[in-house]
Amino acid sequence: MQSPADRGDTGKSSPPVPEMVGATSAPFFIGPGTTTISLPMHPPTGPALLHQDPKHSEVTLQIENVTGDKAAPVFYIYLNVPAGDAPERYPELYAGSLAPFGLVGASRPDSEHGGNGLTFKLDVTALFARLTALKGWDPKNLKVSFVPSDWDAPVPQVRVGRVSLYFS
């Protein structure tokens, strides 16, 4: 009889495979004021189906290919702020921040990043669980707001290549 070690079974389960359940379809700009985008979502159809238990699934918001030709401030990110309201009035909807340190260098085509810019990943598991429990939750659309922090110079426009949401 083979032991678990002989079968290659170490008793550890493999990490869950992330599944994209929503993404923007085109690049957009953030700054100088608050920018809110809609992120169309769909129910999981692949690996995330295996982890439907919210206690065991993770939700990640990914902001990719962030580029710019000028230094930019930190952007605060909020989810599902009511239309027409200031995101800062809803600290419970705060998802995290995008700190574009090294933005200009990462945006240059001759840089080690090849001009692809910066990528940010935010663990929004707890916030997403709270949002899905709210009355009026729309499972087909997530609103993402980008709010620039105070900045000593005019806030430049920053290009975002894509925002995506992953379940794992």
Contacts of 105 (CB under 8 A, 6+ apart): 111, 113
Question: What is the full per-residue pLDDT of the chain (168 aa) written as tens digits?
Answer: 554 455 455 455 666 778 889 999 999 999 999 999 999 998 877 765 665 554 457 999 999 999 999 999 999 999 999 999 999 999 999 999 999 999 999 999 987 767 899 999 999 999 999 999 998 899 999 999 999 999 988 999 999 999 999 998
Taking the C-alpha atoms of residue 24 and residue 134, their distance in angstroms, rounded to an integer, is 23
Side chain identity at 152, as an amino acid letter? D
Q: Which residues contact 7 (CB under 8 A, 6 or more apart)?
A: none
pTM of the model: 0.86
Residue 41, pLDDT score: 94
Dihedral of CA atoms 70, 112, 95, 168 in degrees, nearest 10, equals 160
DSSP 27: -
